[in-house]
Structure 1
Amino acid sequence: MALLREEDRQYLENLFKENLKDKVKIILFSDKAAGSKLVVPGRVECPYCQQTREILEELVSLSDKLELEIHDFLTDEIIAKKYNVDKIPAILFEKNNNVLGVRYFGIPSGYEFSSLIEDILDISRGETQLSPTTKAFLATVNKPVHIQVFVTPTCPYCPRAVRLAHQFAMENPLITADMIEAIEFPHLAEKYNVTGVPKTIINEKVEIEGAVPENIFLEYFKSALKD
């Protein structure tokens, strides 16, 4: 059963046709047994894995410049560790044989579906909408940076925070930016004391409450780089 309405499919198909430039591979780490009524010992329970897979399958069917690669989180454990994937569903992106630091943990539904579409467009075109000042600074980053953005599907302000973090990651391979769906991963939401979304954590020490403008986000980012 299709998840997208026909008018949405047509809109996205036209959007991809007009805007996709280079091929993008979407990599999904999931539970291939998702949706099955069988109980498989050792399986990680993933209630949104099947729906996440269906969303991505519909998207890649709309353009020959999109490809979907699916890995089982347990049987492909070595690959999961290689990409530092420790929870599912997980969505990564590959372009020109390079896996980017743009990642989704949890289903990209609700408002976050727009983040997914815009990320795909940016990755394919090889450009972001960040200011020249931000791009210039990000080019100087020479050590790993980890950004985590906690969201929920019903939060209208969350995509702004996710998109900023993901665009930072697109500008420098040393930057990894994760969207984390707080409801699906309550242990992480509790660990980082997420009482409202969006909430962003940079390098485990700098916290940002709410969605902030690019220039303010950059200042928080800079402070996280200080020893």
Structure 2
Amino acid sequence: MLDSNMKQQLGTYLQKIDNPIELTVSINETPKSKELETLAREIAEISDKISLTIKTDDVGRVPRMTVAPQGEMARVTFAGVPMGHEFTSLILALLQAGGYPSKEDPALQTQAKHLSKPLDFEVYISLSCHNCPDVVQAINLMAVLNPNISATMIDGGVFPDEVDELGIMAVPTLLLNGQPFGNGRMTLEEILNKVDDSAEEKQAAELSAKAPFDVLVVGGGPAGASAAIYTARKGIRTGIVADRFGGQVMDTMAIENFISVKATNGPKLVAGLEEHVKEYDIDVMTNQRAVDIRDIDDEHGKKIKQVELANGAVLTAKSIILATGARWREMNVPGEEQYKTKGVAFCPHCDGPLFKGKPVAVIGGGNSGIEAAIDLAGIVEHVTVLEFADTLRADAVLVRKAESLANITIIKNAMTTEVLGDGNKVVGLSYQDRKTDQNHVVDVAGIFVQIGLVPNSDFLKDTLELSDRGEIVIDGRGQTSLAGVFAAGDVTTVPFKQIIISMGAGATAALGAFDYLIRH
């Protein structure tokens, strides 16, 4: 199961276990059970701090593995074989159950320990999902820290009947006490804030009490991180306030055009950004969404900026850099909103395995759309690509690859008009041929929307000059139409939405803001 190199690396990690832990594996005669048993035995052989019990007559989900400190009731469960992206989740569970401290924010860990109500988390995942481990690791840590909490990872590919019964068509899907709790990537902070009734009020008070920043960066993607590093290096008080650190890049897998790095992926790049930001005295405030910015006069009659957050908190700053990025563009057709996470999806890497052996559609013929079609073709029965224009916008090498695959059909001049469903899930879509005006129906179980991005600037439409596409209009220094407010990255009118361009734009805005502070 594990090669010699992985065993050697795992052995290094498991040396950090202080207290004995127990693995209990429940199996039957299925191949996945044999895989899990092999994995568990190999792990137990590496460390004398790990004991193993194999059960062959257990009830409930099988195969499954529980991890617990010796002598304690197991609260962390892996239903399925935690390999792929979830192998890291397993290693962390072993370490934390064995007493090795988590690197998560101590304040968040204290918050988790103080939760008093019973919380039974279940998260449905796919092993190819790069967002799923964040949720699995968050609830596992909560379960290790608090005896009132239990956490179960469930591989939807191993338990398809459960997935079908619950109507799960997107991962990660998180349940709490048997009820839907959340979909998509969620951080420990986000989960805690949803279950801790007093968290939002406390946070708002703490944030509002912060002293004014010289520069407040709104947004934590490549542009925001770059801007914050540049301003912090100038020795001025810098803060980042963001919904999540990393932004849209967290949902990007293959990155092969970041100069000097031949190949990487979004989560890995974001981890590097976060590590770099932490090298400086930057106040990072995540899980916060800005809803307004405004100018006010301070006690000396000088203009100062205010940023209001969704929880009611107000932050003040002498200058602001807006780097709120963009989000997936939606089709805006009937049925789309109703069937989100029920067949309408935006991440082929995450949700593709849930449509194994079924027909799907990809909307969009750019690089993202054609790459999605190629990836999905190896999993699903058939992929129908619908492109609005009369030509594909994807790179020629991608188009040739897609056209060479027998289970990909590409339809051009196709305008999607409706998502069709049976009340519970997607069953098809309708489109209009833009040349003939004829309407057609394609029977599909899933629809992957890959038609570009929309700037996250809705809250600025009455404050700043925006383009007809909703982008923040900036000059060569990143200055917006409001003095002292700068902007960078995908939310702006800068052409070519690329990671490396966003980073450069962030640096430009930071230097522009610094120059503004010197002069004013």
TM-score band, normalised by shorter chain = 0.7 to 0.9
Equivalence for 1:28? 25
**What residue is the counterpart of 2:42 in the other structure?**
58
Tell me the alpha carbon deviations over residues 58-102 of structure 1, each in whole angstroms, 9 at most, x when there is no partner.
111111111111111x2xx5xx5xxxxx11111112313002311
1:95 — aligned with what?
69
Query: CA separation in 1, counterparts of 2:189 and 2:11?
Result: 33
Contact 1:128 1:170 survives alignment (8 Å): no
The yes-or-no answer on 1:175 pairing with 2:175 is no
Equivalent of residue 7 in structure 1, options 2, 5, 8: 5
1:177 and 1:195 map into 2 onto residues whose CA distance is 21
Spell out, residue by residue over 1:44-63, the C-alpha distance to the aligned partner (whole angstroms, 9 max, x if none): xx330001000111111111
Does the Cα contact within 8 Å between 1:206 and 1:220 map onto a contact in 2?
no
Q: Which of 119, 122, 137 is matched with 1:148 structurally?
A: 122
- In structure 2, runs of 5+ residues without a counterpart are 198-520
Once residues 186 and 163 of structure 1 are traced to their aligned partners in structure 2, the CA distance between those partners, rounded to angstroms, is 22
Task: Please state how far the C-alpha of 1:126 moved relative to its aligned partner.
Answer: 5.0
Residue 127 of structure 1 corresponds to: 101
Change (3 A) 1:189 1:118: same
Tell me, in whole angstroms, the C-alpha distance in 2 between the residues paired with 1:13 and 1:140.
33
Identity of aligned residues (%): 22
Query: Using the alignment, how far apart are the partners of 2:188 and 2:113 within structure 1?
Result: 16
Work out the CA distance in 2 between the residues paired with 1:12 and 1:27.
19
Paired residues of 1:92 and 1:99 also in contact (CA < 8 A):
no
Q: Which residue of 2 aligns with 1:184?
A: 158
**Counterpart residue type for residue 6 of structure 1:** S
Query: Residues 122-178 of structure 1, C-alpha deviation per residue, up to 9 Å, x if partnerless?
Result: 111253344333333333333321101111111122111100010111111111110
User: 2:17·2:100 contact (CA, 8 Å) conserved in 1?
Assistant: no
Counterpart of 2:13 in structure 1: which amino acid?
L
Higher relative contact order, structure no. (Cα contacts within 8 Å, ≥ 6 residues apart): 1
Q: Is the 8 A contact 1:100 1:170 kept in 2?
A: no
Higher helix share: 1
State the TM-score, normalizing by the size of structure 2. Answer: 0.36
CA distance in 2 between counterparts of 1:92 and 1:158 reads 19
Gaps of 5+ in 1: 35-45, 81-85
Whether the 8 Å contact between 2:135 and 2:188 is mirrored in structure 1 is no
Structure 2 counterpart of 1:136: 110
**Equivalent residues in 2 for 1:205-220 (5 A)?**
205-220=179-194
Mean Cα deviation higher: 156-165 or 205-214: 205-214
Indicate how the Cα distance of structure 1 residues 206 and 196 shifts in structure 2: closer, same or farther if over 3 A, else same.
Answer: closer
Offset at residue 192 of structure 1 (A): 2.9
Asked if structure 1 preserves the Cα contact closer than 8 Å seen for 2:112 and 2:192, the reply is no
Q: Decide whether the 8 Å contact of 2:115 with 2:196 is kept in 1.
A: no
131 and 92 in structure 1: CA distance in 2 versus 1, 3 angstrom threshold: same
Cα separation, 2, equivalents of 1:87 and 1:214: 26
Q: TM (normalized to structure 1)? A: 0.80
Contact kept, 8 Å, 2:68 with 2:75, in 1: the verdict is no
Structure exhibiting the larger radius of gyration computed from Cα positions: 2
Q: Which amino acid aligns with 1:110?
A: G
Tell me the residue number matched to 1:39.
none
1:148 aligned counterpart, secondary structure: strand
CA contact 2:26–2:65 (8 Å) conserved in 1: yes
- Superposition pairs for residues 199-210 of structure 1, below 5 Å? 199-210=173-184
Amino acid at match of 1:96: Q
Secondary structure at the counterpart of residue 112 of structure 1: helix
Q: Which letter does structure 2 place at the counterpart of 1:16?
A: L
